[in-house]
Amino acid sequence: MNSTKIKAGIIGATGYAGAELVRLLLNHPFAEVTAAGSVSFQGKKISEVYPSLQGACDLICCSTEEVMAKSDVVFACVAHGMSQDFAAECAEKNIAFIDLGADFRLEDEEDYKLWYGAGFTRKDLHARAVYALPELFRDKIKTSRILANPGCYPTSIALALYPALQAGLIEKNGIVIDSKSGVTGAGRSPSDTTHFPACNEAFTPYKVAAHRHTPEIEQTLSLAAGEKIKVVFVPHLLPVNRGIISTVYAKLTPGTDLDTIRKTYEDFYKNERFVRLKNGGETANLRDVKYSNYCDISLHTDTRTGTLIIVSAIDNMVKGAAGQAVQNMNIIFDLPEDAGLCIIPPAF
């Protein structure tokens, strides 16, 4: 373990994910925030943008160039299409690069073109990038310097389904995923749907069967299944600030019961610090993961219809974004994986 602190720079530090990274890294024993990049607020203290940081982090928001000059690792919290150039610059300077956007998540360029409207501009970097969901791909993460931090919905869904698919406990066809996210998942810039009067005391699905996280979800689940699979995915907007809860429905394979399923999940996640299996009869709840890097999973069966029902809960800004990014940083720098992430959710 390196005795000197890792210098962490953030591009897009004044967005929600960037601000959450600042919050987490301020409590990290082996890393420090050395640069907070922002186009919108360049020249202002980040604590002027987020007053909760006053006295804890008063860094002046700076340019991308300054972030690169001051960092051992760069976190990019920017829209799709922007990270590939940043990754190239980091690669040239031997700076670790963790992308919280979508640029490196999809392996198939045609999928990226279909869902994001553009191709890969740096195919050499895509060949080196690793899809960085620690509980599933830790060994690959350890040897990479370009990491694609998973999306928030795909994180909750992959952790929920991967053990069952890999073990052949469920049918590969007909999987239905019903997910709900807090409003922070839409980012800091307001829109008609995230404006307070529009989302308060409201609850609605959006981008039905057309959400950009769909190919990412299918890519990971296909690895678990050993063949290409497709799912039905419908996200919903919850009138809360943060959190994702995904309820997954899949047909059980013949002879599979809840005891077998539970044993499979217990074995799969027995050494995972941040995945918690709920006890029988309990259900995963957003409240129990708030502000933390935990993913809570509860397992249920409908014996009448032969259906496995999995409920997965994460904080979309932590395990679904900034927390998972810090977890990935810890892995590539050979730090304790839970460093800076030992956060217990509030009881209420």
Question: Which CATH number fits the domain that encloses residue 92?
Answer: 3.40.50.720
pLDDT at residue 190 above 80? no
CATH code for the domain of 193:
3.30.360.10
pLDDT at residue 67 above 90? yes
Catalytic site includes residue 152:
yes
216-259 confidence digits (pLDDT tens):
999 999 999 999 999 999 999 999 999 999 999 999 999 999 99
Q: Both 106 and 118 in a single domain? A: yes
Number of domains in the chain: 2
Mean pLDDT value across residues 164-176: 98
pLDDT at position 188: 74
Q: Both 105 and 193 in a single domain? A: no
Mean pLDDT value across residues 193-201: 80
Q: Both 138 and 257 in a single domain? A: no
pLDDT at residue 343 above 50? yes
Q: Both 323 and 309 in a single domain? A: no
In the chain, the percentage of residues whose pLDDT exceeds 90 is 90
In the chain, the percentage of residues whose pLDDT exceeds 70 is 99
Q: Both 166 and 270 in a single domain? A: yes
The DSSP secondary-structure symbol of 163 reads H
Q: Both 26 and 145 in a single domain? A: yes
pLDDT at position 1: 45
pLDDT at residue 53 above 80? yes
């998972």: which residue's tokens? 324
Q: Among 90, 152, 199, 295, which one carries the catalytic annotation?
A: 152
pLDDT at position 189: 73
Phi, psi values for residue 10, rounded to 5°: -125, 120
Tokens of 252: 């059980």
Which pairs count as long-range contacts for 330-336, CB under 8 Å and 24+ apart, including other chains? 331/134, 331/138, 331/141, 331/142, 332/73, 332/96, 332/141, 332/142, 332/144, 332/145, 332/147, 333/2, 333/6, 333/30, 333/72, 333/73, 333/96, 334/1, 334/2, 334/142, 335/1, 335/6, 335/30, 335/31
Sign (positive or negative) of CA dihedral 277, 278, 281, 287? negative
Domain range enclosing 264: 153-316
Q: Would residue 179 count as lying in a domain?
A: yes
Smallest Cα–Cα separation from 277: which of 164, 133, 138? Answer: 164
Q: Both 228 and 299 in a single domain? A: yes
Q: Both 137 and 162 in a single domain? A: no
